[in-house]
Amino acid sequence: MRNTPFWWILIGFMVLLDIYFFQAIKLVSHNAAPRTKTIIYIAYWVISVGAIVILLLLPYLQFQHQARFTRTTLFAIILGLFFAKLIASVFFLIDDIRRGAQWIAGKFFYSSKEGEALQGGEQISRSVFMSWIGLVAGGGLFGSLIYGFSNKYRYQVKRIPLSFANLPGAFKGMKIVQLSDIHSGSFTDKKAVQHGIDMVMQQKPDLILFTGDLVNNTADEMDDYKEVFSQLKAPLGVYSVLGNHDYGDYVEWSDRTVEHKLKEKETGTHILTPLQLANLDRLKQVHADMGWRLLMDEHVEIEKNGEKIALLGVQNWSAKARFPRYGSLKKAYPANGSSYPFKILMSHDPSHWEAEVLTQYKDIDIMLAGHTHGFQFGVEIPGFKWSPVQYVYKQWAGLYEKDAQKLYVNRGFGFIGYPGRVGILPEITVLELS
């Protein structure tokens, strides 16, 4: 994104935001001693200018795999400062609009004496009040983001009882553990991840299902964690599908040449380069080495005490235009679908549910998805759930139902981008069928 017009527009906006925010700093500190004000002003501009300089240099700084956390953390702090200032500036803007309206009213709709009174009086004190409100709101957001760094390995077990009239008797009481969005390239604490795996195994699952995004970008991210995740075992097996990050689409591959892009344009399809395909093959081997059965637009029978259900798994399929569609539910769906009284679908992106599953596959009883992470930021209290991601994804965390069909969206085991969690904790889902 660097060196694009958007990048420089963003930097310019950050500079303007810093200047605007500084006016509030001056206002709330106007009664401070001169030396104190000098310290405050210098500290503000050192932090603000430093943040922009670091942001400009980050793309050029080389980090080893284990040190990527430093880069991610720095970026998250800078982004946190930006959004904190942005939120605070909303309050400043409200007060500026109020003062502007007050000035216009005093200038054009009142006599000179009334206008002077309207523009004077409590103008400064009210502006200071709104400035403090803005600073508190911005500071609260920034503080919560910093606190969230400590939550990234704070795994939460969600127990979800699900009842189905058509579930075969042999599967009544079956316990399925769903994991999603591991994003191993973001991990820096192997001991903490091991604790999460221990928590999974303590649930004594009958079946373990992983719904995509094992890595951030490349298969080698699993080198240090393959032995940890290979500990996942269940009597009925461990099954997995691919997510959007597993294809390596967010890497600048050296063989994505002009000719390759022209071929994509001619065919109207997204085509993996040879290097991408080799990386994907390595990732498939990682799944196999861990004992996970990777489902690539296919289904398997799950049998227990002579009764069978179907487990379907598709490659990444999204209704959102920015994500390539790799999967095919048509291929995964069993030819003799009516012979399976109960069907579970694993599909990484929850937008697949309304776009295709509900409309064309009404006998799929439950779809399991992930992808959203619950934005790793939000509020979840009894009776209320909110996250910014809900304005992009209608189904973004937890259980959703439409007639007899169900969707469960896991909040993610790992993290990416922001190395933390605020309000939306990493999840181990335990689905208890009856």
**What is the band of 6 on the pLDDT scale with cuts at 50, 70, 90?**
confident
Question: If we measure between CA atoms, which residue out of 341, 349, 279, 270 comes closest to residue 310?
Answer: 341
* pLDDT of 7 over the 80 cut: no
Cβ atoms 344, 368 nearer than 8 A: yes
- For residues 56 and 340, the model is more confident at 340
- Both structure tokens of 78: 């800078």
pLDDT tens for 382-414 read: 889 999 999 999 999 999 999 999 999 999 999
Which of 107-111, 239-243, 297-301, 391-395 is predicted with the least confidence, judged by mean pLDDT? 107-111
Mean pLDDT throughout 146-171? Answer: 96
Cβ contacts of 422 within 8 Å, gap of 6 or more: 144, 145, 147, 148, 151, 376, 377, 378
Q: Where are the alpha helices (DSSP H) in 299-396?
A: 329-332, 351-352, 358-360
Cβ atoms 235, 202 nearer than 8 A: no
What are the CA-CA distances from residue 222 to residues 58, 262, 287, 371 (Å)? 24, 33, 10, 19
* pLDDT of 115 over the 60 cut: no
First and final C-alpha spacing in the chain: 49
Mean pLDDT throughout 119-139? Answer: 70
**What is the band of 293 on the pLDDT scale with cuts at 50, 70, 90?**
very high
Distance CA 374, CA 391 (A): 11
* pLDDT of 124 over the 60 cut: no
Backbone angles phi, psi at 431, to 5 degrees: -95, 120
The pLDDT score that the predictor gives to residue 121 is 47
Place of tokens 């006998």: 363
Give the predicted TM-score (pTM) of the model.
0.86
Cβ atoms 348, 212 nearer than 8 A: yes
CB neighbourhood size of 250 (10 A)? 11
**What is the band of 211 on the pLDDT scale with cuts at 50, 70, 90?**
very high
The pLDDT score that the predictor gives to residue 76 is 84
Render 100-144 in DSSP notation, one character per residue. HHHHHHHHHSS-HHHHHHHHSTTHHHHHHHHHHHHHHHHHHHHHH
Beta bridge partners of 239: 209, 293
Query: Strands, E, within 6-92: which ranges?
Result: none
